[in-house]
Amino acid sequence: MTAPSDPVPLHCVFEALSTPVMVLSHELKVVRSNRAAEPYLHDLDAMLGFAKGLIDSKTYPTDTDPPFIHSLVSVHSGVTDKATLQCQWQRPDATATLNVELCLIHQDSTLRHYLLSLADITPLVEVRQQMAHAAKLASIGEMAAGIAHELNQPLNVIRMASQNLQRATEKGSLTPERVAPKLERIQQQIERATHIVSSLRLFGHPDDFEPQRLRASSTVASGVALVAEQLEAAGIAITYRPLENDVYVMADENALAQVVVNLLENARDAVLVHHPEGALISLQEQADEHFFALTVEDNGGGITEDALDHLFEPFFTTKKVGTATGLGLAISYGAVSALGGDIRAANTASGARFTVRLPLAEQQSP
């Protein structure tokens, strides 16, 4: 019998990995790294030093600090043993989008170490952005009729007011008392049309994903406004219960508004097929100490158990071939996940319920 060969030394395996891997000490110093990690070390050293300064001064990271800093502090302080996130990383040659995993690998308080691994997903993110933009343009096509009707209303009011002013001018009966209310009405309708166009612009441009501190209800309302007219024209009753108090999240305005539109369009398609008479869609906002939640429910018959397992996969759809891209829910899932939240689907007695949760933004200092 041939004797087994000697195992390959672990340090050779470590160096051969194509994934950047680093070992950090409890003092947040890189004590070991493989060749693949070299392009990332310069930027990493700066962030490790910043995080160590916060820890030593017993200062918590703020909303403006990178997510990686938050994860470092959380794992180092023992809040969690593992953190997974997506972030931008500056390399000497370019800025990359990375999936980052940080975990505790030794629990002895005197020998505490952490394993940091990076995966470059820049190509995947670029494809996802292209898919999202294509889905946005498809949404614009679906919303075109409703938006045209919505714009016609203020335009008709402006036309009537201007015609009245013109007739008064021709008759010589134009007075300040007649002009002022007409001009005020025109101004109001211009503002209404401007709001419609501004909301639509969220969907007309490729988005650079940039989370910022947003009032959650305002962004949700913008998404609702884009499709409300279309839903009502289809005979669908829609109810929306926003929060009474201001709640802020760290989110991308474009992405969050599109998530709302995607969920509403998905609910619309379900109720029109399964419940064309008495179709109902409801939205409700809630918040606790940590999360903002938006629930979208419909009475469209629900989702089969088999479909529930695949809802958020790209190109999966239960609709007829050629009537849907199968991207809406997948894009929504990716956007919400990238913001540190989650999206869940479940059935109710009469239809489906989708719940989107996003972490609350930290309170701003007065």
- Whole-model pTM: value is 0.53
Res 142 pLDDT > 90: no
Is residue 115 located within the same domain as residue 175? no
CATH number of the domain within which 188 lies: 3.30.565.10
The two structure tokens encoding residue 58 = 């017993």
First to last CA, the chain: 77
Question: When comparing pLDDT for 256 and 194, which is higher?
Answer: 256
pLDDT at 321: 46
Torsion of CA 197, 343, 123, 81, to 10 degrees: 140
Average pLDDT over residues 289-307: 91
* Mean pLDDT lowest among 142-146, 250-254, 322-326: 322-326
CA count, 13 A, side-chain hemisphere, 54: 20
For residue 202 the two structure tokens come to 């969220």
Domain containing residue 58: CATH number: 3.30.450.20
The parent domain of residue 225 ranges over: 125-359
Asked whether the predicted pLDDT for residue 339 surpasses 90, the reply is no
* One-letter amino acid of 74: S
Q: 109: pLDDT confidence band, cut at 50, 70 and 90?
A: low
How much of the chain is in helix, strand and coil states, percent to nearest 5? Answer: 45, 20, 30
Q: Are 271 and 284 members of one domain?
A: yes
Give the span between the Cα atoms of 162 and 90, in whole angstroms. 56
- State mean pLDDT over 305-326: 68
Q: How confident is the model at residue 126 (pLDDT cuts 50, 70, 90)?
A: confident
Number of domains in the chain: 2
- Residue 34 lies inside a defined structural domain of this protein: yes
